[in-house]
Each structure stands twice: as structure tokens, then as C-alpha cells.
Chains A and B, each alone.
Chain A
Amino acid sequence: CSESDLGPISLNWFEELSAEAPP
């Protein structure tokens, strides 16, 4: 998989999505 297929990757995706998602 290349970054062009999947877009920019974040190693902290779980923490970032948890901060953004509705409680």
C-alpha cells in the first residue's frame, strides 16, 4: 500500500479520532 492510495498516515489515529468523535 502506498501513501498515494491511502492518504496521509497518522501513527496516533486512535487518539486523534477519539478527540474528534462525538462523546
Chain B
Amino acid sequence: DVAEQLPPVLPEGPREESLQLVSELKDSSCSCAVDVSTVWWEAAGCRELRVVTASESAVSLWEPLAPDCWGKVYTWHLREIPVIQMIPLPDTCNLVCVALGELEIGEIRLLLYSSETDSSKHSLVKTGNIKAVVGLKDQRLVSSSRTMQEQQVEMVSLSETGGSKDRQALMPPEETVTAFAEVEGMREALVGTTAGNSVVVWNLKTGQLLRKMHVGYSYPASICHRAYSDSGLLFVVLSHPLAKESESCGSPAFRVVAFNPHTGRSAGVMFSCLPPGCAGRQGDVWDTAGAAVLTSGAVAVWDLLRGRCAAVLHPGPAGHWALARWAAGGAGLLAG
């Protein structure tokens, strides 16, 4: 509901009341949360949005019991390698995807659970030195992995039972791919950012690398979050985790950059700044809303089309916010 409730323009600056705490999930296991996500879940003919929380050694599925009240349905225990990230799979039902590893992702696993038989299983989708991964519509997962000699970029089609139906190799660029983003409205297009600050475009059906376009030197290590194709242009939402504050522009949290794939040229469209004096960001984008955790322990939310910080969620009595993710379909903002 958060995205729906955001006022269109806030000329006077951020307004805290535009984020409202809807409900709290309290985990009695005392383990530190590393990520949070949502998943569509179908049981007994009823499809609902459930919350998934991850600690280093366990992933828990929560269901809504009553308004503002959530109960833990099931916990998968993953004791060998720590969980470091959850990978949302848009429009996928009854499948939880997690990345495990130490500093880098070493494994991607699918977690399944049946309430009818009270049975669960894991299935291994990918191993290697995985640099970037994204879940796409239609149960597809794209990842880039690297050995000393070469980079592999691969799309895996997942079956409903947690297996891998099909694998399609994508042509790797020379530079390491650091992030992927689906292109809204174009099922067969995928964009990625590289360690050399380029945006690359693939054809997922053929595996072709269609275009490499330079982002510019202004902000190093740009990360793509989302892309939209419109009127022959590709609009890419980038975040800039390493950008320093400047007097003229402040610190960029997100930028929307328009690329012309036909010519490879680009132009900045919108610039979303961190609130003055703030630093640090771990960002997530849904539709045209960006959210990021700041080093102060606050969560900031931006309207990316207007370049406005629309809301700030300050640290609460329980402590500083450490992670923020949009729920599937923009149903809310999850913060941990």
C-alpha cells in the first residue's frame, strides 16, 4: 500500500507520515535477519502473498493469520553454507529462491514445501563464483559466474517442482556483469551493468549480446535495478553505491538514464539524491519507486520519475534499519 499512498509531489521535502507501519513479524529464534522477501503461495485453492525471512542458517515462510498478524508456517534449515540473499521470482508460486555463500554467491537453491504432505525439499540450481543473479517472469533465473579464464552468463528455466527445465547460454561481455535487470514490457530483453560501467542488452531467446553502451565516468560502479522500453528508448534505473557527495548535486541514490539502443548514446533523465548529510545505500526498486537503507539506520523512499525523496522511515526503538525490499506487486515495503 505504500506506493499507492505516496503523495505525487512533496515540495516541502520528505514527509514521515507517508510510511505507515502495517504489521510486525517477530522471530523468537534471535537469529539476525539477512534478507526479507515475499512470495506468492497457493494452498487449498487459495493464492496469497506470504513473507519470507532469511537468517544465515534458516529461511522461514510466514502467512497472514489475521489483519496485522503473521505466523511462521515452515522453516528450512541450511546449515552448511550461509544464506546471503533471497532472489525474488516475479509471478512464481510456491517457490523460494535463495543465494548461499561466504563473500560471494557460491550456490543458488530452490526451497519447496507442501502443507498437504508437510514435506519439504531443496534443489540446487547453480554453483560457481556467481557475481550477479536475477529472477525473471515465467520462472526464469539469469546468473553470471566467473572462473579465472572466462565468464559464463546463463538463463535457467525452472519447473514448478523445483527442477531446471532448460538452460540457455547468453553471450558474455568482456567485463564482469555486476547486476541484471528485467526490461518491463519486453519478455525477451534483459539488461545488465558491467564492472567497466557499461549497460549491456541481451536477447534472451537467442542468447545474443545485442549492444554495449557506456554509462559515463561520472559515477563508478553503477548497478542496474530496472529497465523500461518506451518509444524506441530504453530507460534504465541505476544506483550508485560508491558515488561521493558533491556540492552541486549532492549524493546520487538513483538515476534514470535513457539509452538509445539504435545508436548506443545515452542521456540522464532524472536524478534522485540522498537527503542532505546522509550516506550509504542498499537499494531496491519496484516500478517507479526506489527504496534504500542509509548508514544512519533510516530507510528512504523516492519517486524516481520525479526525483523526489517521498518518505523517510527513521530508526525505531528496536534499532537501526539494515535492509529494505519492496513486496511483490508493490504491496508494501519490507524493512528489517
Contact = CB atoms under 8 A, between A and B. Distances in A.
Interface of A: 1, 5-11, 13-14, 16-18, 21-23
A16 B262 CA distance: 8
B232 A13 contact: yes
B215 to A, nearest CB: 14
Contact of A21 (B203, B229, B263): B203
A18 B206 contact: yes
Q: Lowest 6 A-B CB distances belong to which pairs? A: A7-B263, A9-B232, A6-B260, A17-B210, A10-B262, A13-B261
Interface in B208-246: 208-211, 229, 231-233
B188 to A, nearest CB: 8
A22 B6 CA distance: 45
Nearest to A2: B267
A17 B229 CA distance: 15
A9 B269 CA distance: 16
A9 B262 contact: yes
A8 B186 CA distance: 21
Given A17-B210, A23-B208, 7 more contacts: A5-B265, A6-B260, A10-B262, A13-B262, A14-B188, A14-B261, A22-B171
B258 interface: yes
A7 B265 contact: yes
A8 B263 contact: yes
B189 interface: yes
Nearest to B232: A9
Contacts of B99: none
A17 B233 contact: no
A18 B208 contact: yes
B209 A21 contact: yes
Nearest to A10: B262
Contacts of A6: 233, 258, 260, 263, 265-267
Contacts of B189: 14
B201 interface: yes
Contacts of A14: 186, 188-189, 203, 210, 229, 261
B206 A17 contact: no
A22 to B, nearest CB: 7
A5 to B, nearest CB: 5
A1 B258 contact: yes
